[in-house]
Each structure stands twice: as structure tokens, then as C-alpha cells.
Amino acid sequence: MKLSILTLAAAVAFNAFATVGAARADADDAKWVAQCVKDNKDEGQTVDVVTSYCTCMNNKMSSNETRSITQWEKANKPEMEACSAQAGWKGR
């Protein structure tokens, strides 16, 4: 019985730490996507298209990347083209 309680306590603690880490990653991703949307606001696309594009680009980037999505896309044309097509970007 004690082993079961310890196992359960360890699992709960692990999940709590994992959830905090995921929340930080989600918040960081949201910050980068929001900046990308702002950077692309004058590109003549709908907010939905730009948000979809920026989210796609963010998902293709390494979690260790330090450049903004806007900076990263310039060095990663195949990813930019794939995300543009996926988002329905017109004119690229």
C-alpha cells in the first residue's frame, strides 16, 4: 500500500512539473506567433491566414531557436513556402 501511494505521489509530482514546462513552452510559442502576426500585418492577408502561417513556421522551428520567426523564415525558404501553401497565403 505504501508503495502505491509513493508511486502515485511521484506520478502527480512529475505531471505537475511537466505541465508547468509545457505551459511555459506554449506561452513562449504564443509570444513568437504574435510577433510574427504583427510583423506580417501589412502583407495583405487575412489575420487567419497570417496566424496559420506563423503557427506553422513556429512548429517547424527548433525549440532552441533564438531568432524570431520573421528572421528564421528568410533562411528557410522551403519551410516558408510549405507554410504559405498550408495557410492559403496568396501572392507568395
- DSSP secondary structure of 4-36: HHHHHHHHHHHHHHHHHHHHHHHHHHHHHHHHH
Q: Which residue has the cell 502576426?
A: 37
- Phi, psi of 38, rounded to the nearest 5 degrees: -60, -45
The answer to the question of residue 70 being in a domain is yes
Identify the domain containing residue 23 by its residue range: 2-87
The answer to the question of residue 50 being in a domain is yes
* pTM passes above 0.75: no
The answer to the question of residue 92 being in a domain is no
The answer to the question of residue 49 being in a domain is yes
Q: What is the pLDDT of residues 13-66, one digit of tens each?
A: 444 444 444 445 588 899 999 999 999 999 999 999 999 999 999 999 998 899
Q: What is the pLDDT of residues 75-89, one digit of tens each?
A: 999 999 999 999 999
The answer to the question of residue 26 being in a domain is yes
**Rounded-to-integer distance, Cα 62 and Cα 53, Å:** 16
When divided into structural domains, the chain yields a total of 1
